[in-house]
Structure 1
Amino acid sequence: MNTPLRRGLLAVATALGLYVGLWAELLPRTFYTSFPGLGLHWIDVDGAYDEHLIRDVGSFYLAVSALSIVALLARTDGPGRLAGLAWGVFGVLHFGYHVTHPEGSAVDVAGTLASLAVSPLVGLLLVLPSRRLRVDGEATA
């Protein structure tokens, strides 16, 4: 069963993926100089502009967003769990890179790490099985 909690987590993951993915894919130079917005600069402090790399990031986020949208529309929890695995693996590795390669001001580093903790957390929660009610009313995993 695709529970309301799972649907909510998938909606958050989809929104995150579309925000990053569309921006990086459609406006790679602006993404490089202005991400994540609000006057912060998390990408341009980490090396020279590389349009290919920025577009690859955008493509990846859009692909995982597509998986998340399919899972959001699914009636069972299997696609959501698969999307969770994808977000979790990516999130842990991405977070790990930024923990070991802090760039920018203390505010930028804190913001980067806090925002990057969302992907592995959402991924982990999505991977967990849904609880279902059996006919006798007892919960099962």
Structure 2
Amino acid sequence: MDGQSLDGPGRAGRVRRLVARLALLVLAAAALYQGLWAQFAPRSFFYDFPAGLTWVAGDGPYNEHLVRDVGGLVNGLGAMAVVAALWMSAPLLVANAVAWTVYAVPHFVYHVNHPLAETSMQRWNVVVLTSEVVLPLLGLLGIGTLSRRRHARMLEGR
């Protein structure tokens, strides 16, 4: 039984691991796109995010400090998703899902309650924000790929 995943031998475990890893890498890419832009070109991010559509500027005056700090925080979440995707350990996958949920759920709620003026843009915004909730949860699929022996050791505390 050694080397088999908890969800069965072979293919099922590999598929779960691939889905988890891809979800985390897509999440990381989206986060780093936003975060690097906000941190290193805060004025451009404020007035042009995303792709020239000025979604951020509609919520108040420009604040470079705030935009850079939020960029750094989103970069941190993106880095966490990359590390979780590379190591695929249960503690990292859970920590990543918790951190993203703490960030993404209130972010989603805010934008649903403060919709963009253009309906088609609001639809896209909701899709993107929903992905920030769903993708880290898909990353948890990687937990089921532990070998039976490794899982038993974890339960025993070794």
TM-score when normalising by structure 1: 0.83
Matched, 1:32 2:46: yes
Give, in angstroms, the shift of residue 26 of structure 1.
0.3
The corresponding residue for 1:5 is 19
User: Which amino acid in structure 2 is aligned with residue 125 of structure 1?
Assistant: L
Q: 2:68 aligns with which of 45, 55, 64?
A: 55
Give, in angstroms, the shift of residue 89 of structure 1.
2.0
Q: 2:80 aligns with which of 58, 62, 67?
A: 67
1:47-78 deviation line (CA, Å, top 9, x unaligned): 11111111121011111112112212215232
Which consecutive segments of 4 or more residues in structure 1 shift more than 6 A?
Answer: none
Structure with a larger share of its residues in helix: 2
The corresponding residue for 1:98 is 111
Q: 2:54 aligns with which of 26, 33, 41?
A: 41
Q: 1:19 aligns with which of 15, 18, 33?
A: 33
The corresponding residue for 2:13 is none
Q: 2:102 aligns with which of 82, 89, 112?
A: 89
User: Which amino acid in structure 2 is aligned with residue 120 of structure 1?
Assistant: V
Alpha carbons 1:42, 1:108 under 8 Å: kept? no
Identity percentage of aligned residues? 36
- More RCO (CA 8 Å, sep 6+): 2
1:74-130 deviation line (CA, Å, top 9, x unaligned): 152321221121112211110001111123322232222221111011122234563
CA distance in 1, matches of 2:142, 2:17: 10
Alpha carbons 1:20, 1:61 under 8 Å: kept? yes
Structure 1 unaligned residues grouped into runs of 5+: 136-141
Give, in angstroms, the shift of residue 35 of structure 1.
0.5
| RMSD between superposed Cα atoms in Å | 2.1
CA distance in 2, matches of 1:8, 1:78: 18
TM-score when normalising by structure 2: 0.75
CA distance in 1, matches of 2:21, 2:142: 13
CA distance in 1, matches of 2:111, 2:88: 36
In 2 relative to 1, CA 45–108 (structure 1 residues): closer, same or farther, beyond 3 Å? farther
Larger Rg: 2
Aligned length: 134
Alpha carbons 1:6, 1:80 under 8 Å: kept? no
Structure with a larger share of its residues in strand: 1
CA distance in 1, matches of 2:148, 2:92: 22
